[in-house]
Structure 1
Amino acid sequence: MPTLRRRTPALLAATFLASSLSLPTHAADRVLGWVEEGLIMPDGVAVKFKLDTGALTSSMHAEGVERFEKDGKDWVRFNVNVKDNRTDKPAKLQFERAVERTIKVRGAGGAERRPVVQMSVCLGDTLYSESFTLNDRDAMNYPVLIGRRTLEKAGAVDSSKTFTAKPTCKKG
């Protein structure tokens, strides 16, 4: 009969830590600041991203969100009007995206329903195609908020740092 080994707390902690580090190698080594410059793709417009470990889903500034049907599916048409940090000029981007789902977001002002769409953004040297809620973030300091679903692929966040990873993705 095999002998049973008693696992020590240290062994359990080491086993858990080893099994939880399933990030890509570059992401596991990367430490990002709580604010980073990123690019809204495919146009390559540079804006400030807030990396928010308290948010599950990422969010992007959107104005004039208009729902419509295309090929029997729900779509949205919207504008992203921001200032490009690199040129200091206004950038007016227009998008049409399929709606993945609609989520209910609760905040200090109450609850509201927001569409979720796939958007591409560049953070550091990596292009991410991720789910974003659309919301008028004009009154906010950061037009793009990166949530935990994206951060788990991007790397750790150090709240004492900012602007640690210059975006290097190519337009197009």
Structure 2
Amino acid sequence: MDPECARLVIGWREWVRLDSLGLPPIKAKIDTGARTSALHAFKLTTFLRGGSRWVRFSIHPFQHDLSVVRSCEAPVVDRRAIADSGGHRQIRYIVQSDITLGNQTWSIELSLTRRETMRFRLLLGRTALNGRFLIDPGRSYCLGKRPRRLEP
């Protein structure tokens, strides 16, 4: 069997988990036009831990609900100039996190940026998805509907 045919099909939006950041399930937009994945983050502060640079940030994990705030910490992998969809370049912190989509878990890089004006708190770019899934842009939530919300 052709390995391409054996890949899971995902839609243009899916529910994912970022357990290593301690976040509840998040609705993600699958965006093959974006190279780098982006996570909504604000109140970014950097600090040293064990001689390594870390970043502490806050996130509103639920779309349309600013009352729930989660704080996260992660080691800084890099700082890069990232172009947004309008072509504007911004220097962003890059962190690494495990992501779970369906029954697959792997490590990805995430750029941290404010996304409160965007419909999705998480954008999954092509680098994170490369070689793992086939994407059907006409479908949504191929790997499951919204998980039960754990927050009030």
1:54 offset after TM fit, Å?
0.8
1:92 is aligned to 2:35: no
Determine the C-alpha separation between the residues in 1 that align with 2:144 and 2:70.
Answer: 22
1:135 offset after TM fit, Å?
0.6
- 1:159 is paired with a residue whose SS is coil
Q: Which has the higher helix share?
A: 1
Q: Is the 8 A contact 2:60 2:66 kept in 1?
A: no
- 1:149 is paired with a residue whose SS is helix
**Matched ranges for 1:122-161 at <5 A:** 122-161=100-139
TM normalised by structure 1 equals: 0.72
Gaps of 5+ in 1: 1-17
Letter matched to residue 110 of structure 2: F
Which residue, 35, 54, 58 being the options, matches 1:56? Answer: 35
**RMSD value, Cα:** 2.6
Change in 2 beyond 3 A, CA 1:115/1:44: closer
Q: Is the 8 A contact 2:63 2:120 kept in 1?
A: no
Change in 2 beyond 3 A, CA 1:70/1:49: same
TM normalised by structure 2 equals: 0.81
Change in 2 beyond 3 A, CA 1:145/1:79: same
Gaps of 5+ in 2: 148-152
Identity of aligned residues (%): 27
Determine the C-alpha separation between the residues in 1 that align with 2:100 and 2:143.
Answer: 10
1:69 is aligned to 2:45: no
